[in-house]
């Protein structure tokens, strides 16, 4: 039985919805109440989960572990589904440059437009993963694109 996620057409519908509803994922009244340390914990947790899924996908794309379409699809869907949260759920809210240990660079708040532009490139690349996950070569290519956007944002907006 094929999962809806494995159907490219359905994936496109999912991606379209994710883009359309991106701004609404915040449930703003919930997250507006989150304290700075909670916002920092949340954004770091999202990044950790995406990074681990990326590691699984990378290992399969490289052939370090056997390629498995279902596993690849699951982790690609997770990255795509999580990708909008750091910005739309307000995890980089005012005052979250401190309150808990963080590598978030102060430029995130001093250059918000530049940060959003860099982050948005990642979100676009993340949402392209599900459609590429069923083919090892396509996945490797999509992961390469994704990796550039990770680095592009981390270089400028994550402290060493």
Least distance (Å) between residue 100 CB and a copy of itself: 12
CB 47 within 8 A of CB 79: no
Length of the chain: 160
Binding mask 2-21 for a copy of itself (x = CB under 8 A): xxxxxx--xx-xx-xxx-xx
**Shorter beta-carbon distance to a copy of itself: residue 103 or 114:** 103
* Count of residues touching a copy of itself (by CB under 8 A): 47
Question: Binding a copy of itself by CB under 8 A: which of 35, 55, 100, 103?
Answer: 55
**Sequence-ordered list of residues with C-beta below 8 angstroms from that of 134, at least 6 positions apart, any chain:** 6, 69, 72, 73
Closest to a copy of itself by CB, 32 or 117: 32
Does residue 138 bind a copy of itself (CB under 8 A)?
A: no
DSSP letters, 128-157, are HHHHHTTSHHHHHHHHHHHHHHHHHHHHHH
Interaction of residue 30 with a copy of itself, rule CB under 8 A: yes
CB 92 within 8 A of CB 86: yes
- The contact pattern for a copy of itself, residues 62-81, with x = CB under 8 A and - = no contact, is --xx--x-xx--xx-xx--x
């Amino acid at each position: 039985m094929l999962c809806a996620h494995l159907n490219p057409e359905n994936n496109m519908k999912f991606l379209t919805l994710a883009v359309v509803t991106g701004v609404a994922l915040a449930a703003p009244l919930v997250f507006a109440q989150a304290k700075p340390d909670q916002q920092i914990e949340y954004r770091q947790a999202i990044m950790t989960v995406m990074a681990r899924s990326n590691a699984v996908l990378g290992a399969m794309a490289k052939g370090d572990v056997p390629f498995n379409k279902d596993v690849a699809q699951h982790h690609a869907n997770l990255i795509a589904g999580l990708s909008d949260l750091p910005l739309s759920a307000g995890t980089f809210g005012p005052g979250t440059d401190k309150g808990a240990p963080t590598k978030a660079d102060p430029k995130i708040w001093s250059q918000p437009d530049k940060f959003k532009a860099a982050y948005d490139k990642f979100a676009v690349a993340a949402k392209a993963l599900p459609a590429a996950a069923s083919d090892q070569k396509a996945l490797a290519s999509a992961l390469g694109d994704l990796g550039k956007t990770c680095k592009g944002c981390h270089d400028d907006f994550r402290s060493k």
